[in-house]
Amino acid sequence: MKALKNEAMEATRRFFLESRAVLPGEDSEEWEDEYRRQLDLAKKRHAGAQPVGALSEEEPAEGPELSGTPAQQRWAATLRADRLRQIRSKEVRDWLAGAWRSSRTWIDTRDLAPPAFLRRVEAQYAEHRRQSERQTAERQAAQQAKAAADEALRRELEAAGITAEGLVELIDVSVRASPAPRAQKLADIAAGGRSLRVFETGNAAVLMVIENSAQGRQEYAIERDEGLVGDLKLFARSLVS
């Protein structure tokens, strides 16, 4: 009973500091009314409760820093430690300590008896699990779809015989043309110590190439070939995927 009275006394002080920042006299009716309310709440919290050591698998960690004023943080930290001891599952305790970061959230549970508090937490945790499972399923579906698309693209490249070396050879044998202003890039190609960037141009019949190699940098134009352009676009897609 002495422990309950001490708990109620401390909760009464926190209540007035939180709500008014001024403590009324301990012999005032206002103080007495709030003290009795807090004592009743303390009794309800501990009524029928098992020993603390039997409630949780291990002593709960402090948890992350709470938001709020210093007075709110102190009050909420005390409430949080008490509430976390009421939860058997370490998984739920860890989730709750990370999810409830606001002092106000913990303070709002001060009037809840343990069964009502646990029902609220269990409902929120169940929703959290449903969302996590849905997100996991969506990620897995997206990964599977991407893997299938990558495999289809790989097979398409293989069937068409498109390689970086082969594209460089096609560019080398292309007919040179008069330079034109560069536009959208078609592809980046690296092979045999050479790095080529191929661009569309303002001239529909011309492509521009910027090449870097051991011999230095050079820029030149080639006649546009639709077959080459198609291969370059397909090759570029394989690099993006």
| pLDDT at 45 (0 to 100) | 67
| pLDDT at 15 (0 to 100) | 74
Could you tell me the residue ranges of all domains in the chain?
Answer: 2-130, 161-240
| pLDDT at 55 (0 to 100) | 45
**Angle CA(55)–CA(57)–CA(62) in degrees, nearest 5?**
90
Cβ-proximal residues to 188 (8 Å cutoff; 6+ apart), any chain: 195, 196, 197, 236, 239
| pLDDT at 54 (0 to 100) | 39
Token pair listed for 142: 């997206």
Q: Scanning the structure block, which residue is given the tokens 């779809």?
A: 145
Digitized pLDDT (tens) for each residue of the chain, 241 residues in all: 677 777 777 777 777 776 666 677 777 888 788 888 878 877 776 664 444 333 444 555 567 899 999 888 989 998 999 899 889 888 999 999 999 999 999 999 988 888 899 999 999 999 999 999 999 999 999 989 988 988 888 888 888 899 999 999 999 999 999 999 999 999 999 999 999 999 999 999 999 999 999 999 999 999 999 999 999 999 998 887 6
Q: Scanning the structure block, which residue is given the tokens 């860890």?
A: 94
Q: Scanning the structure block, which residue is given the tokens 């409430």?
A: 79
Strand partners, 206: 223
**How far apart, in Å, do the first and last CA atoms of the chain sit?**
68
| pLDDT at 21 (0 to 100) | 61
CA-based nearest residue to 220, from 209, 228, 212, 231? 209
Give the predicted TM-score (pTM) of the model.
0.51
Distance separating alpha carbons of residues 70 and 230, to the nearest angstrom: 65
CA-based nearest residue to 168, from 231, 241, 238? 231
Distance separating alpha carbons of residues 205 and 226, to the nearest angstrom: 10
Distance separating alpha carbons of residues 13 and 21, to the nearest angstrom: 10
